[in-house]
Amino acid sequence: MLKQSPIGIVALVLVFVMMAMPRMVIAQTIPDDNTVAMIRANYLYQFANNNDWPAEWKKGRFVVGVVGNPDVLEIMASKYATKPIGSQSMNVIGVNELQTTPQVHVVFIDRSKKSEIAKYVREYKGKSTLIVANWEGALAQGAHINFLSIEGSIRFELNKTAMTEALITPGVKILQWAIQ
């Protein structure tokens, strides 16, 4: 039987810890829920950038509102708020600021606030506000775009008719990316 020194055992343990460490660090810095939030925030930016709003909505700031998901709000504000949408600078706001902002281009309503969708649909009826949600049946409740989880991927469906009625023209990329 081979004798092992205490130093050899400690060195072996350290090697295993160091090999496992990068995996532990990655798992801690990007939890699954934040990955989903990052993907949704990226999609919201793409919806803002690749759809077309009426001429009168292309003045001032481009406003994106987030309801019920602080992770998506934080990522949108930190990663995308400095990017222009056409010639407009972007402003990302939370639910408290929605009531005092007259022109909101995109509003994301998280499933945690799905009981409030009727309120937002009424509030933005007749306006060119793109309503985005993330639960089964959201399009039937008035959302224009709805996130879906399909085979581990985040995809989206859209109601082109509702978008057109809101005077929002879906961009070619958005139509191509949408689930048919």
Give 111-157 pLDDT, tens digit per residue.
999 999 999 999 999 999 999 999 999 999 999 999 999 988 999 99
* Residues 121 and 142 sit within 8 Å (Cβ to Cβ): yes
Is 121 domain-assigned?
A: yes
**CATH code for the domain of 86:** 3.40.50
Quote the number of domains for the chain: 1
Is 20 domain-assigned?
A: no
Is 14 domain-assigned?
A: no
Find, among 87, 93, 90, the residue nearest to 107 by Cα: 93
Give 7-22 pLDDT, tens digit per residue.
655 444 444 444 444 4
Name the residue range of residue 72's domain: 32-177
Helices (H), the chain: 6-29, 32-50, 70-75, 95-98, 117-123, 160-165, 172-177
Query: Rounded CA gap, 163 and 130, in Å?
Result: 7
Strands (E), 134-177: 145-150, 153-158
Which pair of tokens denotes residue 176?
């191509």
Q: Would you say the pTM of this structure is higher than 0.85?
A: no
pLDDT bracket for residue 4 (50, 70, 90)? low
Is 155 domain-assigned?
A: yes
Is 6 domain-assigned?
A: no
